Amino acid sequence: QVVLTQSPSASASLGASVKLTCTLSSGHSSYAIAWHQQQPEKGPHYLMKLNNDGSHNKGGGIPDRFSGSSSGAERYLIISSLQSEDEADYYCQTWDTGIQVFGGGTKLTVL
């Protein structure tokens, strides 16, 4: 079964850019994923679907500052011009033979 691996934490300065990584387990490098943001004390919010070729479809209202890219088994969420409200947990998610799988999440701190 597919496993998603994320670093537990990341940090970047206000106004800077950050790239968060989600790694697919061996044999699953062709899989698409989704990225979700969870701000403190709130439920998750869908950001985008990211395909293995780097193409992505964002959810409604997601700012242009959020984008995605792919390289091999790695899927990236890139946030530019960081704002204080971007401080949140970010989860990747994929699906395999009818089962949904989540990564452990990355806590992003905006300095």
Partner 1 sequence: QVQLQESGPGLVKPSETLSLTCTVSGGSITSHYWSWIRQYPGKGLEWIGYIYYSGSTNYNPSLKSRVTISVDTSKKQFSLKLSSVTAADTAVYYCARGVEEVNYWGQGTLVAVSS
Helix (H, G, I), strand (E, B) or coil at 85: helix
Segment interacting with partner 1, rule: CB under 8 A, options 20-28, 67-75, 77-85, 87-95: 87-95
Report, in Å, the least distance between residue 70 CB and partner 1.
15
> Does 105 contact partner 1 by CB under 8 A?
yes
Q: Which of 41, 23, 37 is nearest to 79 (CA)?
A: 37
Select the residue interacting with partner 1 from 12, 18, 22, 34 (CB under 8 A): 34
Report, in Å, the least distance between residue 53 CB and partner 1.
16
Give the start-end residues of each E strand in 15-83: 18-24, 33-38, 45-50, 56-58, 66-71, 74-79
**List of residues contacting partner 1 (CB under 8 A):** 32-34, 36, 42-46, 49, 59-60, 89, 91, 93, 95, 98-102, 104-105
